[in-house]
Amino acid sequence: SRGCAPGSVGAVNSGEVVLEADGLGKSFGRKPVLKAASFRARRGVITALMGRNGSGKSTMLRVAIGQVAADYGRILFHGELLGRPDLASMARQGLFYAAQGSALTRLFTVGEHLDAIARVYGTEGKVTETVRRLALEQLQGRKPPMLSGGERQRASLAMALLREPSCLLMDEPFTGVAPKDRAFVEDGLRTLRALGCAIVITGHDVEDLFGAADEIVWVVAGTTHVLGPPEAARAHHQFRREYLGR
Q: What is the pLDDT along the chain (246 residues), one digit of tens a residue?
A: 223 334 444 434 568 999 999 999 999 999 999 999 999 999 999 999 999 999 999 999 999 999 999 999 999 999 999 999 999 999 999 999 999 877 899 999 999 999 999 999 999 999 999 999 999 999 999 999 999 999 999 999 999 999 999 999 999 999 989 999 999 999 999 999 999 999 999 998 999 999 999 999 999 999 999 999 999 999 999 999 999 986
Beta strands 198-203; 46-50: pairing state = parallel
Dist CA 41 CA 35 (whole Å): 20
Half-sphere exposure of 242 (CA within 13 A, CB side): 12
Q: For residue 40, count other CB atoms closer than 10 A to its CB.
A: 19
Q: How many residues does the chain have?
A: 246
Dist CA 168 CA 160 (whole Å): 8
Find all residues with CB under 8 Å of 9, minimum gap 6, and list them: 164, 165, 166, 192, 195, 196, 197
| Distance in angstroms between the alpha carbons of the first and the last residue of the chain | 43
Q: For residue 47, count other CB atoms closer than 10 A to its CB.
A: 19
Beta strands 80-82; 72-77: pairing state = antiparallel
8 Å CB contact between 154 and 136: yes
Dist CA 65 CA 238 (whole Å): 31
Type of residue numbered 110 = V
